Every structure is written in C-alpha cells, then in structure tokens.
Amino acid sequence: MGTEKLSKATIRDVARAAGVSQSTVSRVLNKNGYVSAETLERVMQAVQALDYSPSAIAVSLSKSRSRIIGVIVPQIFAPFFSQLFYIADRIAEKYDYRLLLCNSESSVVRERRLIDDLLSYKIAALFIAPVDGQEGSNAAYLNSIRLNGTPVVCVDRELTGIACDGVYIDNYNACYEVTREVFMRGYRNIAYLADPPVYAPGRQRLAAFEAACQEFGVTVPPENRMLAPIEASEKRERFLYEIMHRETPPKAIINFSKGWDYGMLRAVTSTGRRVPNDVFLTGLDDDNVLRSFGYYTDYRPNTEEVATVAATLLMERVLHADEPVPEPVRTALTTHLTSVLQRGTVLPEPDVKPMDLK
C-alpha cells in the first residue's frame, strides 16, 4: 500500500500556475471579494493540480478571527475535563468550529502563557476552567480579553473578581447530602477522600463535609481524611491501603475526588473485604463501578449536562461576536447526590442506630 505525500505547494505556486496574483488566489479561497468566473476556474484548476491545501493557522492569521476555539483546563487527564472537552467539541463541530486543547497544570503562570499563545492564533473564543490558587488568578486579564471583543466562558471554577460568562458548579450541596446520608445510616467510623481546599470545588466540599459532621456531632480524625490533588496518586493509594489494613477499618468511605472509584475498590478488596457488605463506598462514581455491587450514586447535574450548558453559551457568544459585548451571564448549577440501593443490597452493620432516610 502506497504512502500519500503531503503537498508542499504554496499560495505563490498556485498564483503562478493560474497566472494571477497571490491576493486573487486568497480572494478565491476565502470567498471574499469579486473574482470573474474565468479566473475562479483557473485558480481552482491550479489548486487541484498542485493538491494545494492552505494552512489553517495561516488562514486564521489573515483574518480578524479564526474558527478555532481555545480551551484551557488544569488537568487534561482528569475524567471531568476530558469529557467536558469531548462534549464541547461535538457541539462546536455542528457550527464548523474546531477546539484547541491546552493544559495549564493548575499553574497561573502557565495559564497566562497559554492564553497569550491562543490569542496569537486569533481564536474565536476562549473556553477555560481557570486556575485559582495560592498564586492568585488571571481574572483581571480574562476580563480585559472579554471587553476587547474575544468571548470568554469560564466553567467549573469561579474566580474572585471575574466578570466573564461562566457556568459554575455548586459542589457544596452534593457533598453535604452524601455525608448526611452516611451519618443517618448510622456510620461513624468513616473516611473522607477529596481534592484539597486550594480551589473552589475543594473548599466547597470540605465546608459541606464539616457542616454535616457538626450537625451530627461526629468527629472524623485527620488520619481518616485525605485531601490531595488528583495527580498525587501514590499518596492517595497509600492512604486507602493504610486505612483498609487497620484492625478496625472504616465502614464507609466518602469519595469526592474524580476518577478514584477504582482505587477505593482495589484497596477494599485487597483485604478480602466486600463492597458494600463490609465497606460502603459512596460519593463520586465516574466509571459506574458500584452498579456491579447492587447500588449506585445518582449525581446531578452530570458532566454531560454541565458541558452542554457551557458549550451552548460558548457558541452563542461566538456566533454573535461581531455585536456589542453583552453583559456576562453567570449560571450556577446546584449539585445533588443520593445513593440508590437495589432490593436485597446488604450494607455494613451500623455503628449507631440508623435514622429514617425519608
């Protein structure tokens, strides 16, 4: 089977073959300005003969705005952000726009450089899950970009002082609901696994967890808590194995770190214990592994719903980018999480008398 070679023809070659200027070739390819039928035919014949394909970046630089949408996320490997990109890409495809994905590594400095790089490509818009940590944030810079005519839509994390369109997730409610459920089922020897309170999602979840603990008068000691970023896989793994190999391991583990459902499962089964008979796993279950054990957690809104709302707003801004800059729209999605048990599912013996969940 032969290997096709990419054409190295340039716009200058096409112009020479067609006997016209480079600007005429550009007008034909961009469908911009008057060109006679005869000239149009000569140019297109030359394009076909030379197998010429213009660089997408070169085309974008010749225009005031490209058909490329810049996307920046803090962790490409995180399930939430990879699914967010996938769904946004499907929606943008309907309008013939392409997404260019960048990874900020949760660094404000790196994020600023990525924004500048994307702007140099004259992106149609910026779709960003912004960094907000000890380094500060790029809120002021993002605000100025929006005011200068490039749509900016933030998702997931809301920065202090941000004045751009945003679709945010209120993580407090879901974490409070699931912690409250665990306590009402009578469990007191529990563990908590989540992102650190450096970013808004981690802060909201920890506040909800502690509020539920205070409401039920439960103290969860530091050694039963693991607050670490998703990339700290070895640290999380050690924590899970350590608590499960104790003489009296937790009877329930609340997970609010995306993508760690399999990690919890491995730690539990490594001791010969069963899920959920010996250990009740609850919280986020991105891969739906709990359904194999007679129950599941119903988390709303799911990633697809969040991504659809955000990407729809993004494309609305892109398609009306030539109009005066509108007032920013802020959408906050309240989360809910409940456990759904099939008939006959057996949970661990409670530490105290359970309460009515209804």
Of 152, 126, 141, nearest to 69 by C-alpha is 126
- Give residue 214's pLDDT band: very low, low, confident or very high (50, 70, 90): very high
**Residue 311: predicted pLDDT:** 95
Report the phi/psi class of residue 97: left, alpha or beta, with left for phi > 0 and alpha for psi in -120 to 50.
beta
Q: Do domains 68-170+303-334 and 172-301 have the same CATH topology?
A: yes
CA angle 190, 78, 210 (to 5 degrees): 30
- On whether the CB atoms of residues 89 and 101 are closer than 8 A, the answer is no
Mean pLDDT for all residues in the chain? 89
Question: Is the peptide bond preceding residue 250 cis, with omega within 30 degrees of 0?
Answer: no
Fold of 172-301: Rossmann fold (3.40.50)
pLDDT-based confidence at residue 59 (cuts at 50, 70, 90): low
Residue 312: CB partners within 8 Å, gap ≥ 6? Answer: 91
What sign results for the dihedral spanned by CA atoms 52, 55, 60, 63? negative
CATH 3.40.1710.10 fits 11-54, yes or no: no
Q: What's the CATH class of domain 68-170+303-334?
A: alpha beta
Residue extents of the structural domains in the chain: 11-54, 68-170+303-334, 172-301
Is the pLDDT score of 6 beyond 50?
no
**What is the DSSP track for 35-99?**
--HHHHHHHHHHHHHHT----HHHHHHTSSS-SEEEEEES-TTSHHHHHHHHHHHHHHHTTT-EE
Mean pLDDT over residues 142-157, rounded? 93
Task: Report d(CA 239, CA 242) in Å as an integer.
Answer: 5
In which region does residue 319 sit, left (phi positive, over 0), alpha (psi from -120 to 50) or beta (all else)?
A: alpha
pLDDT of residue 132: 85
CA distance 317 to 326: 9
1 confidence band (pLDDT: 50, 70, 90): very low
| Angle, vertex CA 163, rays to CA 161 and CA 169, nearest 5 | 80
Predicted confidence band of residue 100 (pLDDT cuts 50, 70, 90): very high
Task: Please give the helix or strand (H or E) that residue 330 lies within, else none.
Answer: strand 330-334
Answer yes or no: is pLDDT of 350 > 90.
Answer: yes
Q: Is the pLDDT of residue 213 over 80?
A: yes
In this structure, the number of other CB atoms found within 10 A of the CB of residue 309 comes to 15
In tens, the pLDDT along 190-212 reads 999 998 888 888 899 999 999 99
Tell me, rounded to whole angstroms, the distance of Cα 68 from its chain centroid. Answer: 18
Q: Averaged over 143-150, what is the pLDDT?
A: 92
